[in-house]
Amino acid sequence: MPLVRIDLARGKSVAQRQTIGDVIYNAMIATINVPKDDRFQIITEHAPDDLIVDKTYLGIQRTADCVLIQITLNEGRTVEQKQTFYKAIVDGLHERLGMRREDVFINLVEVRKENWSFGNGEAQYVT
């Protein structure tokens, strides 16, 4: 059910982009109870002038390699689950790609279950 949008600076390899997607997908399964095979991701690269990220907001030092991750998902997770999820993503990206933790921006957009159609013009989660 999550729809993941990953925005990053142009120039990452296919392997790097795939690893970013893998880390997020694995973190969803491990921490926020997303079922296996529920993987819908859009990865978009941007020219440097088209990705505007404040370098120091909230005292966090970001670089031009900042990755923006926005995930639309069903509402209902606890704050603790979300914090565990954020940490799993950041730790995974740092361990697998050497990404700076400061360069991972995550935003969750929570919606009700009736706001999804996975095909056939049906709202599969509506009972």
Please give the pLDDT value at position 46. 97
Superfamily of domain 3-114: Macrophage Migration Inhibitory Factor (3.30.429.10)
Helix (H/G/I), strand (E/B), else coil: 89: helix
Joined together, the tokens standing for residue 49 give: 């002038």
Checking if the pLDDT of 28 tops 90, the result is: yes
Between CA 80 and CA 70 the distance in angstroms is 18
Residue 125 or residue 43, greater confidence: 43
Condensed to tens digits (0 to 9), the pLDDT of residues 68-90 reads: 999 999 999 999 999 999 999 99
User: Which residues fall within 8 angstroms of residue 116, CB to CB, at 6 or more apart?
Assistant: 1, 74, 123, 124, 125
pLDDT at 92: 98
User: What pLDDT, on the 0 to 100 scale, is given for residue 19?
Assistant: 98
Give me the residue label for tokens 């859009």: 42
Choose among 86, 48, 57, 88: nearest CA to 70: 86
Active site residues: 2
Stated pTM of the model: 0.91
